[in-house]
Structures are given as structure tokens and as C-alpha cells.
Structure 1
Amino acid sequence: MPANLCGTWDIISNVNLEGYMVALGISPQLRKIALKLKLKKVIEQQGDEYIIKTTSTFRNYTVSFRMGQEFEEFTRGLDNRNVKSLVTWEGNKMVCEQIGEKKNRGWAHWIEDDKLHLSCFMLDLCNNTFLK
């Protein structure tokens, strides 16, 4: 049975977030702001739909999806790209593959040591940790 990732999580660390943003083509000014933000993740499940909210004082982003169903996603406020996303369980990891102009792109969430982890992949460039 997959892990329950639901809850509210505060960021406590990130590794190579700037490198990930550079690879996405995000401007230096926006990268500077993003690196200073204290992010919060809220993960909810309503029936078979998941809702993930990433919030900060600067900008918020919400994505909702059903496991195993491909959906169109516009990464508004992030890198502003249209992608086709598919979220599945790989063991206890919630993994999203995003198909678009950037290759091998996506993310994974999992819990380890009572912390929510987020790995943004596009050549394995970024890892974040959140505390509930």
C-alpha cells in the first residue's frame, strides 16, 4: 500500500535548486527570489484525486490529478511551460513524469525519517526536504 503523504509540510532544506532552475531557463532575478523563499507543501487527497499546493509569500502553485491518468499541466509561475504529466506510485514514492520540451523532467515525493522529500529530476538536479 502506498504511503500517506497528506499533510502540511515546511521546507527545511534544498539541494541544487538553483542548478535545476538554470536548466529550466529561469531568469537570474527569479532564481534569486526563489532561493530565499520558505516553501510550504500541502498534500490532500479527495477521493481518487490528489491536490498538491506549493505556497510561499511570493507565488503559489496548485496541481491536481488522478493516479495513473495523464493530464495537461501548465506550470504557471514556475517555468510557464505546457507539459503532459503522469503521476504513478513506484513503491512508496509518488512519481510524476512530465513530457514536454525539456527531456527527462519530473518529480518524486516520498516520506523518510518523518520528512517529506521532493526530488525534481531533469538530470537529477534538485532535492528538497520538508518537515511536517
Structure 2
Amino acid sequence: MAKPNYSGTFHMVSQDNMDAYLATLDINFALRKIVCLLKPTKQVEHDPATGGMRIRTMTTFKNFDMDFSLGKEFTEDLGPVDGRVCQTTVDWAGDKLLCVQRGEKEGRGWTHWLEGNLLHLEMRCEGVTAKQVFKKAD
């Protein structure tokens, strides 16, 4: 069975528990407050034939690009997020994209999945979970 194609532009419509998640990443109070006010847009380019993906998260404050091949570990520079570098693997878990980030923080990673025109993102670190939901642009 073919995997879903995640390509598209998505605008955030909701988020939950972001401040606690950012605190777990040791982000300072002032920056956490700014980040919690942002409404990011995600641009996803997904080539199902090659397994290549690019996820670009854009805000009025800072942008973050992630380019990777599904199932292949790579060194991810999370400098724009929390100043860390980790070994990252993104692969399929059913129809979901599961990311594992090995580094200073235990249990760090995220899961993306589609439900209709909604893109869900669950971020995890040291037992704390935050969730964002994005709606696909028309």
C-alpha cells in the first residue's frame, strides 16, 4: 500500500503544551513566550519515489529547514531551535512519519501524520509532549 504524500503548505491552527516542551529543551523564559505566540507555516516537499523530504518551518521570528532521506540517519543542527546537534532518523511508522533525535536529551523526537487536510505534529522530549495542528492551504 502506498504511503501518503505529505507535500503542501500548511498553516498552524492550534498548539498545546508548547511552553512546557520548550522548558524541557532549556529554552529561556523570554524566548519561550515569543515562540508560543508564533503561528508557523510549514512547507513540505516529499518525493515518494526517492524517499527525500524537505520540511521548512517559517515564522516571522526565525525559519528552520530540515532536509533528509527517509530511513537514513543524519546529523541535524538544531542551533536555530535550542543550540544542540543530534543524530536524527525519520522513517515510516505505518502512515506516520516518526523522527528519533539522539543526543543530550532523552526521548527526543516527533511524529507527523495527516488526517484529511490537517497535518498533526507531536513533539516529545524527556516525557513531555507538545502538539501542533496545521491546515493545508487551499
TM range, normalised to the smaller chain? over 0.9
SS in 1 for 2:36: helix
The 2-side partners of 1:37 and 1:20 are apart by: 15
Task: Render the CA deviation track for 1:83-109: whole Å, top value 9, x for unaligned.
Answer: 000000001101100000100100111
Q: Does the aligned pair in 1 maintain the 2:6–2:46 contact within 8 Å?
A: no
Match of residue 52, structure 1, among 55, 65, 74: 55
Q: Write the deviation string for residues 55-98 of structure 1: whole angstroms up to 9, x where unpaired.
A: 00000000100011000001121111010000000011011000
Structure 1 runs (4+) greater than 3 angstroms displaced = none
Give the distance between the partners of 1:60 and 1:98, measured in 2 at CA. Answer: 19
Aligned residues: 132
Q: What residue number does 1:42 align with?
A: 43
Provide structure 2 residue ranges, at least 5 long, that are not aligned to the other structure: none
Structural mapping, 1:1-132, within 5 Å = 1-46=2-47, 47-122=50-125, 123-132=127-136
CA RMSD of aligned residues (A): 1.0
In structure 1, distance between residues paired with 2:130 and 2:51: 28
Unaligned runs of 5+ in 1: none
Structure-1-length-normalised TM-score: 0.96
CA drift of 1:53 comes to 0.3
Percent identity (aligned)? 36
Length-normalised TM-score, structure 2: 0.92
Per-residue deviation at 1:124? 4.3
